[in-house]
A and B are shown apart, each in its own frame.
Chain A
Amino acid sequence: MKSPDKQAVITNTQFGALVSSILWPTIIGYGGGIMAREAGRDMWIGGILGIVNSLILAFILIYVGGKFPGKTIVEYCPKLVGFIPGKALGLLLCLYFLFGAYQSVAIYVHHMNDFLLTETPFAVITVIYVLVVCYLVWHGPEVIARLSVIGIAAALVFSFLVFLATLQEINFDRILPLLDMGLAPIANAGLTATSFIGPNILVIAMVLPLVKVKEKAGRPAAAGLLLGGILFTFYFIAELMVMGPHVTALMRVACMDLVRSLQITQYLHRFESFMVTLWYWSMLVQAGILTYCAVQAFQQIFGLKKINIISVVTTGILLGGLTYVFAFNRTLFLNFLEGPWDYISLPVYTGIPVLLLTFCLIRRR
């Protein structure tokens, strides 16, 4: 019965939970503020655009992945587009996942270091958190998927609490009029939303071979995407109603400022630390699965099967290093997310699925 080499299996429910719990935590962190700066009171429509976009991409990935049962995107890329371009795409994906993971780690560390532990050194928090993430990655995708069930349960409690707290603050004047600034800013915000979600969508292509009933993987993926999308869109609306578009746009980490300005009756106020506790599990799952995907993509490029301790440790060091170098300076990190990341992310998360689909259709597989 001791068979660690056995292929990990993720049930379809866990797959759905995984997809939804990795979708929402980073985008409410930094995405809210960036999108409010871009689209003002219409940022939540940008969020919906992001979900619609990612649903389409997810279905392309599931369709293409269905043609290669038991293979991840990194494994079937060389078969579709040729050996060298395929491996190059795999490397690109590996880097993309690594970037997604580092952003996730950085955003969590920023939450901790800027709001709750302001005097603790950045490096200490980073190191401890990266260790936890590596421990999780070492346990493999099955454990991450199981943790995601807990994560999504916590996320639902989180949203329920936000809902309770915003009930007394509902103010539709702050999200009206709709389409105030026209469609272009909304499209821009949708682009931002998708660039935040991007790495998480591609996770589907990496995890798909592990799903138990692959023929029915579409439904949990769609349900997960919708649930995750509803979670962050709801959060955007709450931000707009409670703080208003201008204050949201003012804040670097808008989600924490929303919680800062909420209270549930007069007894439960300033419950940031409590909300962080509920939000954290999704964050951990996200960092874990993105790091896992980076490790796995790297190993599969070189044809290694089992997760290697050396790859995990190396990835951990890379994660910590990237976080320290690029995220210690908050302005640098924010500017990167606001500007170049959109244009780096767009070709990867849209380009790769579309490219693969095209090749798939051309080669009639």
Chain B
Amino acid sequence: MERKLFLIILMLCCSLFIAGCWNSREIDQLAFVMGIGLDKTQEGNIKITVQVAKPSTFSKSPSGGSDNEKSFWVASSEGKTIFEAIRNMATFSSRRIFWAHNKVIIIGEKMARDDISEILDFFCRNPELRLRTWIAVTPGEAGKILEREPGMEKDPSSAIENVINQTVWTGKCYRVMLKDFLEDYLSTATYPVAARIVSKDDSSNIKMSGSAVFNQNKLAGWLNEKETRGLLWLKGQLSSSIMVIPCPLDGRPLSIELIGSKADIKSEFDGQIPRFTVDALASGNLSEQACQTDFTNMDNLRKLEKALASAIKDDLESVTKAAQTGIGLDFPGYNHYLHRQHKDRWHELVEKWPGLFKKADIIIHVKAMIPRETLFARPLNPVKHNNVNKIRIEASNEITR
């Protein structure tokens, strides 16, 4: 009986197969979209630009495409909705547009100023798209960015993806994935921030610089690189950055590589007005110095640490200022601390928060440490006498004088 049942199953399955294979798509019939650009046209339509990789140019075999062939193809189409624009693309694309390998979504400023909720909706709803796609906003037209031929990579989107990955080293850009952007968008009193991408007019390169702040679904304003670094501090996402500060003794520039950064934010109530205390703790390596100061001297080092602390404080204050007076939104997310630390009060004043935030008192303390001077034990200057120690003392005396 069991065997008969098995045979019945087998026969039924076979008959199902005859009906066809619905989803099967050979991999060579797909157009792999690597990057998407979204713009708003003059007429108010959505213009979607896709950058598609040409597989034949990625082949290692000699029969693959010639070296001069461009390895990507940029196409754009328009429609009233994103989906319509995408379907319109099928009217001229020889292969099925396939989104699952998309790396970046670039939004043009015009589109961003108008409404981005449709973008979020479409790209999160569609199972083909991944939620780890990077989101960036460009001040100009998004489609243009995707046409820039990169220097190292074969296609612009991979280049953009790598550049975004590299921003952890500079701390000058707030990078965000679709899923995190969406979470910020959905949360109350949180304002999503995305990366800002600009194309330099003189070269073919693109540059990640600063960030874009959204008031829910509309672009509210831009942050410059300094403010962005402050934002990264407050969000606890700064992993590494270079601080260029003037030497506290002779004013010539020094570079300090930040290796550790931590900001503790405490909230309390001063009557109705919340007060935040930001305690930032930084540690950095002295990576480069143009001045001749000898920082093996602890006093000098203390001065340098103070200078670093004030530079960081400057960053933090600039972003706080931008949030409170410039853009006027709590995009650094101070309210999360209030929420976490004063759960009951928060639920009462959540409605009033946008106004309340502008009045909030924010105090910033920064402490900086420079535990390492990389490989050197003394500044790089030619030795004049035999007695090195003496020189060092004289040199430091000279400067302190």
| Chain A interface residues (CB < 8 Å from chain B) | 114-121, 124, 127-128, 131-132, 135, 138-139, 173-174, 176-177, 179-180, 242-244, 246-247, 249-250, 256-257, 260-263, 269-270, 309
Q: Enumerate B120-148 residues with CB–CB distance to A below 8 Å.
A: 124, 127, 130-132
| Residues A127 and B12 in contact in the complex (CB < 8 Å), given A119-B22, A309-B1 | yes
- Residues of A contacting B9 in the complex (Cβ-Cβ under 8 angstroms): 131-132, 135
Picked from A128, A135, A250, the residue with its CB within 8 Å of the CB of B5 is A135
- Residues of B contacting A243 in the complex (Cβ-Cβ under 8 angstroms): 131, 179, 183
Do B23 and A263 have beta carbons less than 8 Å apart? no
Bound CA span A180–B186, Å: 17
Whether a CB of chain A sits under 8 angstroms from the CB of B100 is yes
Do B23 and A117 have beta carbons less than 8 Å apart? yes
Bound CA span A180–B19, Å: 53
Bound CA span A250–B181, Å: 14
- Residues of B contacting A139 in the complex (Cβ-Cβ under 8 angstroms): 2
In the complex, what's the smallest C-beta–C-beta distance from B64 to chain A, in angstroms? 23
| Residues A242 and B16 in contact in the complex (CB < 8 Å), given A118-B23, A177-B339 | no
- Residues of A contacting B124 in the complex (Cβ-Cβ under 8 angstroms): 247, 250
Closest 3 CB pairs of A and B: A244-B183, A246-B186, A261-B131
Residue of A nearest to B177 (CB): A261
In the complex, what's the smallest C-beta–C-beta distance from A272 to chain B, in angstroms? 9
Bound CA span A193–B293, Å: 66
In the complex, what's the smallest C-beta–C-beta distance from A310 to chain B, in angstroms? 11
Bound CA span A128–B131, Å: 31
- Residues of B contacting A128 in the complex (Cβ-Cβ under 8 angstroms): 13, 16
Do A127 and B183 have beta carbons less than 8 Å apart? no
| Chain B interface residues (CB < 8 Å from chain A) | 1-2, 5-6, 9, 12-13, 16, 19, 22-23, 100, 124, 127, 130-132, 177, 179-180, 182-183, 186-187, 336, 339-341, 343
24 A–B pairs (Cβ distance < 8 Å), ordered by A: A116-B23, A119-B22, A124-B16, A124-B19, A127-B12, A131-B12, A131-B13, A135-B5, A135-B9, A174-B183, A176-B340, A177-B339, A177-B341, A243-B183, A244-B179, A244-B183, A246-B182, A246-B183, A249-B186, A260-B127, A261-B177, A269-B130, A270-B100, A309-B1
Besides A242-B179, A261-B132, 6 other CB < 8 A contacts?
A121-B22, A131-B9, A173-B340, A180-B343, A261-B131, A309-B1
- Residues of B contacting A244 in the complex (Cβ-Cβ under 8 angstroms): 179-180, 183, 186-187
In the complex, what's the smallest C-beta–C-beta distance from A153 to chain B, in angstroms? 26
- Residues of B contacting A116 in the complex (Cβ-Cβ under 8 angstroms): 23
Do B187 and A260 have beta carbons less than 8 Å apart? no
Do B343 and A269 have beta carbons less than 8 Å apart? no
Do A173 and B336 have beta carbons less than 8 Å apart? yes
Give the total number of A-B pairs whose CB atoms are below 8 A apart. Answer: 80
Bound CA span A246–B216, Å: 14
Do A261 and B13 have beta carbons less than 8 Å apart? no
| Residues A177 and B186 in contact in the complex (CB < 8 Å), given A124-B16, A128-B13, A138-B2 | no
Bound CA span A247–B183, Å: 5
Bound CA span A308–B266, Å: 68
Residue of A nearest to B343 (CB): A177
Do A138 and B22 have beta carbons less than 8 Å apart? no
Residue of A nearest to B5 (CB): A138
Bound CA span A30–B13, Å: 29
Picked from B6, B177, B339, the residue with its CB within 8 Å of the CB of A135 is B6
Picked from B127, B177, B340, the residue with its CB within 8 Å of the CB of A115 is B127
Do A260 and B130 have beta carbons less than 8 Å apart? yes
Do B339 and A261 have beta carbons less than 8 Å apart? no
- Residues of B contacting A256 in the complex (Cβ-Cβ under 8 angstroms): 127
In the complex, what's the smallest C-beta–C-beta distance from A304 to chain B, in angstroms? 16
- Residues of A contacting B343 in the complex (Cβ-Cβ under 8 angstroms): 177, 179-180
- Residues of B contacting A309 in the complex (Cβ-Cβ under 8 angstroms): 1, 5
Do A250 and B186 have beta carbons less than 8 Å apart? yes
In the complex, what's the smallest C-beta–C-beta distance from B254 to chain A, in angstroms? 33
| Residues A118 and B127 in contact in the complex (CB < 8 Å), given A135-B6, A173-B336, A270-B100 | yes
